[in-house]
Amino acid sequence: MRRLTCRRWAALALALVCGLGMLCAAAVAAVDPFFHYHAPDPEGEVWFDQRAQGAGLLRTQEYETVFMGSSLAANYRAFWFDVFYDTTTVKVTFPNGSFAEFGQALDYAYSCQDVRRVIFGLDPNLLARDPAEAPSQLPEYLYDHNPFNDIAYLLNKDALMRSAYTVMKKDAGEVQNIQDAFVWDGNVFFSRELALGSYERPETVSPMAPADALLENCRANLSVVQGWLEAHSDTEFIFYISPYSILFWDKMQRTGQTEAMLALLEETARTLLAYDNVQLQFFMNDYDTITDLDNYADHLHVAGRVTYAMAQSMPTGEHCLHLESYREVLDDLRQFVVNYDYERIWAQGA
Amino acid sequence: MNLQSLWSWVALGAAVPLCRFALGRGGARGLGVLTAVSALFYLANPQGPLGLLVLAAGMAVTWGCLKLLARGRSWGLWAGCGYHIAVLAGFKYLGFFTGGALSAPWAPVGLSFFTFQQLWCLHDAARGLCRPTAGELGACSLFFPTVTSGPILRPGDFCPQVRRGPSPGAGQTAPALWSVAVGLGKKVLLADNLGILVDNGWADPAALSAPGAWLVMVAYALQLYLDFSGYCDIAAGLAALLGISLPDNFRAPYRALSVGEFWRRWHITLTAFLRECVYFPLGGSRRGALRTYRNILVVFLISGLWHGAGWTFLIWGALHGLAQIVERAWGAGRQRLPKALRWAMTAVFLTVAWVFFRAPDLSGAMAMLRSAVAGGAALPGEALFSGVLDAEVTALGALLPGVKDAGAPLAAAAVVAVGAVVSLLPGSASERLKSFRPTAARLFWGVGISLWSLLSLSAMGSFIYSGF
């Protein structure tokens, strides 16, 4: 072997870093685990990262409806909306997502397709969160059309490892079709025992939090949503509020936040219903559903049979709130959750 | 210099040969190219254009004051120092000194380094040690490897090198590349992952057990060294590619047997600046013990304030000043203690003092120290390790499901252990450059570390000292 001089060492080092770097980039481009260069195979793909692969879905699919939300929205299948609304739908969900992230993804969707309708799972817990504490985890280099940003995808440790993971899973035949992507029915089970088992009942707090305790955060988050409504006034926005279980209201009661949460819902309805291009579908008052804990995996996440029924009912508008009547609906909910005999939940299990 | 994007490395790949060629031809044109390239790199920083304007104004003032000094007007020194200190205070300390009533919304990146460099230039010029040309002043002030995070360049050392037209030999490229690889590994693979553990711990210091608190404190001590010395290694490597030799900023500081020795090994250029521009003018150690103690305290209070406008930084500086006063007062008796004991005393002091450096406020610092003393003996929870080498742990979990749960604690233990070993290695960046031997093992590690680091850049955090 020839002696390694400084000159030869430097040349070899540069050549190897460049060569191996290009090899890594080529491997990522070929496998393309985040669907940046090719559309996913609808019959079988490896799904593992909603934020990274969401960009690929928005970029490569053809759609006029965007279905979007947090983990509560993940348990829907896009083709339900294709059927119920006679449309083409892409589903993009970000667990614990922030409104800034959803806004960025929406902007990207508008830059990719002619979006006519947005169906958005509006999660009151996320509305109540301080925007400063919300995550910002979208891989930005995937959510734009700048080809120079692709370098951050191609020369990326995560993407490289995910490429290897994708190849391994495909070799093992462990793939899912696109409709099952990120759906947790099948991986997660729903029963009264599981819902109660994962619920830590808080100690009772007094006094109650003031009714405006959550309003500042709610208004800050809603202002982001209002930006979407004003920027895309031709788009039909269908917001829906998922049926949190009665355990959620038990938590609100015991932590003294019932009035604050109801005020948040009222603020949300008042703000959004002022827009002509908005529908607000409200499932929190589906009392049969929320009191039947067999529908839940925990105090929030609801089974596929319920999400299917909700999706089916959306086009009928039967759960829509209206400017004239939303206060009555919320008053009715207040009466229900304030007067509910929460001890019954545990007595039933005894 | 912003090294957080792959494109900045691509730009470096173009800029280094260009500057190398231009500087090699010597003259004002070479300096002009170096200054222009440096300015372009600076523009890539947040608020880069505005920051560059502030720095350009500062250089113009320094240049004017140098002219005054050349004409024998000694007040040029005070005018220049006054201007630079006022600009630094306006951008970084207004909020602190006015109790938050007034504060600048932003500050030019690297302003603290820039200011001390300008002051050093004026100081040396007033003593006839250095008379840079305008081109040399611009190149030195904006030199892209050092402008944001140091080392603080002494114009008297830097200018003669660019004046004679550096011509790096082919043999210098390999050690320079090795230095860049070492720096990248320290920063991206070690410091950033230690930072995740540290951030997890500081999210709720009161909830930590004593072992958890000590782990977080030690991890921060390692993170800070690996982050800053990693940057300096990269800067030294890039400068060496241009044929320019930078001053050492670190010489294995955690091997120090006393706090005084620590400061001869840690941020050496800052220590040298403070010694020559503050300590000596105050009288140094020549006017009795009490004056010496006062001077030490003044120097370290300034050092604390330089690092940040807050009480925590002042306390950190005061602790270091007091520790050195105690060491001096103790005298030869301390030297007779076993080396291991002196090392342990120094290491514990440094680790505790860094708590004030990292804490968001005094109550946070006290919460961490309370946990370290009275947090109970429980082992650290898994949440403390969450996110450390995340991609690697995820991949390992997918390949070997049996180690999935142990992956994060194992990764954290590995990062702390490797970080500690690297931090205790003897030598400095310049010694590493001089003693480099082109072996196959170094080629393997250099290429491996560089590639792994470059592939990890998308998750890279900013350099801690670029915030100062």
Q: How far is A314 from chain B (nearest CA, A)?
A: 39
| A161 with B436: Cβ contact below 8 A | no
What is the model's pLDDT at position A41? 92
When scoring A3, A9, A148 by the number of chain B Cβ atoms within 10 A, the one with the most, hence best to mutate, is A9
What is the model's pLDDT at position B67? 95
Q: Which residues of B touch A168 (CB under 8 A)?
A: 398
For residue B468, pLDDT beyond 60: no
How far is A175 from A178, CA to CA, in rounded Å?
Answer: 10
- Give B 294-333 residues with CB within 8 A of chain A: none
How far is A1 from B327, CA to CA, in rounded Å?
Answer: 55
- Across the range A206-211, mean pLDDT stands at 88
What is the model's pLDDT at position A331? 96
What is the model's pLDDT at position A322? 95
Q: Which residues of A touch B398 (CB under 8 A)?
A: 165, 168
| B454 with A21: Cβ contact below 8 A | yes
How confident is the model over A39-81, as pLDDT tens digits? 999 899 999 899 999 999 999 999 999 999 999 999 999 999 9
What is the model's pLDDT at position B392? 86
Identity of the residue in A16, A148, A157 whose CB atom sits nearest the CB atom of B455: A157
Q: What is the DSSP string of A21-41?
A: HHHHHHHHHHH-TT-SSSPPP
Q: Does B17 touch chain A (CB under 8 A)?
A: no
Owner of token pair 């959803």: A102
Tokens linked to B333:
């008796």
Sign of the CA dihedral B227, B242, B46, A159?
negative
DSSP tally for chain B: helices H, then strands E: 22, 0
CA B271 vs. chain centroid, Å, equals 12
Q: If you count them, how many residues does chain A have?
A: 350
Tokens linked to B48:
């880069």
Rg (CA), chain A: 23
Nearest CA in chain A to B446: A13
Name the CA dihedral angle for A299, A305, A306, A312, rounded to a multiple of 10 degrees: 160
| B446 with A21: Cβ contact below 8 A | no
- Across the range B412-418, mean pLDDT stands at 96
Q: How far is A265 from chain B (nearest CA, A)?
A: 31
Identity of the residue in B394, B398, B443 whose CB atom sits nearest the CB atom of A13: B443
Parallel/antiparallel/unpaired status of strands A89-93 and A65-69: parallel
Nearest CA in chain A to B397: A165
Q: Does B174 touch chain A (CB under 8 A)?
A: yes
How confident is the model over B246-291, as pLDDT tens digits? 999 999 999 999 999 999 999 999 999 999 999 999 998 888 899 9
Which percentage of chain B shows pLDDT scores above 90?
77
Q: Which residues of B touch A139 (CB under 8 A)?
A: 458
Catalytic residue among B84, B123, B307, B320: B307
CB A162 within 8 A of CB A153: no
Q: Which residues of B touch A158 (CB under 8 A)?
A: 391, 458-459
* Mean pLDDT over each residue of chain A, to the nearest integer: 94
- Across the range B27-51, mean pLDDT stands at 92
Which percentage of chain B shows pLDDT scores above 70?
97
| CA end-to-end span of chain B | 14
Residue B320: active-site member: no
For residue B27, pLDDT beyond 60: yes
What ipTM goes with this model? 0.88
Domains and CATH numbers, chain A: 41-146+175-349 (3.40.50.1110)
**Which residue did the predictor score with more confidence, A315 or B399?**
A315
Q: How far is A71 from chain B (nearest CA, A)?
A: 21
What is the model's pLDDT at position B464? 63
Nearest CA in chain B to A157: B455
| A9 with B438: Cβ contact below 8 A | yes
Element (H, E) at A241: strand A236-241
- Across the range B50-74, mean pLDDT stands at 95
For residue B403, pLDDT beyond 90: no
Q: How far is A241 from chain B (nearest CA, A)?
A: 32
Nearest CA in chain A to B452: A157
What is the model's pLDDT at position B285? 86
- Across the range B310-331, mean pLDDT stands at 95
Q: How far is A5 from chain B (nearest CA, A)?
A: 6
Q: Which amino acid is it at B69?
A: L
CB B356 within 8 A of CB B365: yes
How many Cβ atoms are within 10 Å of B47's Cβ, its own excluded?
Answer: 15
How confident is the model over A158-170, as pLDDT tens digits? 899 999 989 999 9
Q: State the pLDDT confidence band at B394, using cuts at 50, 70 and 90.
A: confident
CB B189 within 8 A of CB A157: no
| A10 with B455: Cβ contact below 8 A | no
Which percentage of chain A shows pLDDT scores above 70?
99
When scoring B455, B456, B457 by the number of chain A Cβ atoms within 10 A, the one with the most, hence best to mutate, is B455
Tokens linked to B122:
């004026």
Chain A and chain B share a number of CB contacts under 8 A equal to 85
How confident is the model over B82-121, as pLDDT tens digits? 999 999 999 999 988 888 888 888 999 999 999 999 999 9
DSSP A47: -
CB neighbour list of residue B168: distance below 8 Å, 6 or more residues apart: B20, B176, B240, B241, B242, B243
| B455 with A24: Cβ contact below 8 A | yes
Tokens linked to B376:
């109970």
CB neighbour list of residue A10: distance below 8 Å, 6 or more residues apart: B170, B173, B174, B177, B438
| B398 with A165: Cβ contact below 8 A | yes
CB A23 within 8 A of CB A156: no
| A16 with B447: Cβ contact below 8 A | yes
Closest CA to A299 of A264, A251, A347: A251
Sign of the CA dihedral A40, A42, A47, A52?
positive
| B173 with A10: Cβ contact below 8 A | yes
Nearest CA in chain B to A141: B458
When scoring A1, A2, A6, A161 by the number of chain B Cβ atoms within 10 A, the one with the most, hence best to mutate, is A6
Q: How far is A15 from chain B (nearest CA, A)?
A: 9
| A10 with B177: Cβ contact below 8 A | yes
Q: State the pLDDT confidence band at A206, using cuts at 50, 70 and 90.
A: confident
* Mean pLDDT over each residue of chain B, to the nearest integer: 92
What is the model's pLDDT at position B369? 97
Q: Which residues of A touch B171 (CB under 8 A)?
A: 5-7
**Interface list for chain A against chain B, based on CB atoms closer than 8 Å:** 4-10, 12-14, 16-17, 20-21, 24, 139, 141, 148, 151-152, 155-158, 160-161, 164-165, 168
What is the model's pLDDT at position A208? 86
Q: Does B378 touch chain A (CB under 8 A)?
A: no
For residue A350, pLDDT beyond 50: no
Alpha-carbon distances of A211 from A265, A335, B63, rounded to whole Å:
11, 16, 62
- Across the range A108-116, mean pLDDT stands at 97
Q: Does B458 touch chain A (CB under 8 A)?
A: yes
Phi, psi of A185 (to 5 degrees): -60, 130
How far is B332 from B327, CA to CA, in rounded Å?
Answer: 9
For residue B453, pLDDT beyond 60: yes
Q: How far is A26 from chain B (nearest CA, A)?
A: 13
| B457 with A155: Cβ contact below 8 A | yes
What is the model's pLDDT at position B171? 83
What is the model's pLDDT at position B24? 84
What is the model's pLDDT at position B278? 94
How confident is the model over A260-318, as pLDDT tens digits? 999 999 999 999 999 999 999 999 999 999 999 999 999 999 999 999 999 999 999 99
For residue B456, pLDDT beyond 70: yes
How confident is the model over B162-215, as pLDDT tens digits? 888 787 777 889 999 999 999 999 999 999 999 999 999 999 999 999 999 999
Q: Coil, strand, or helix at residue B162?
A: helix
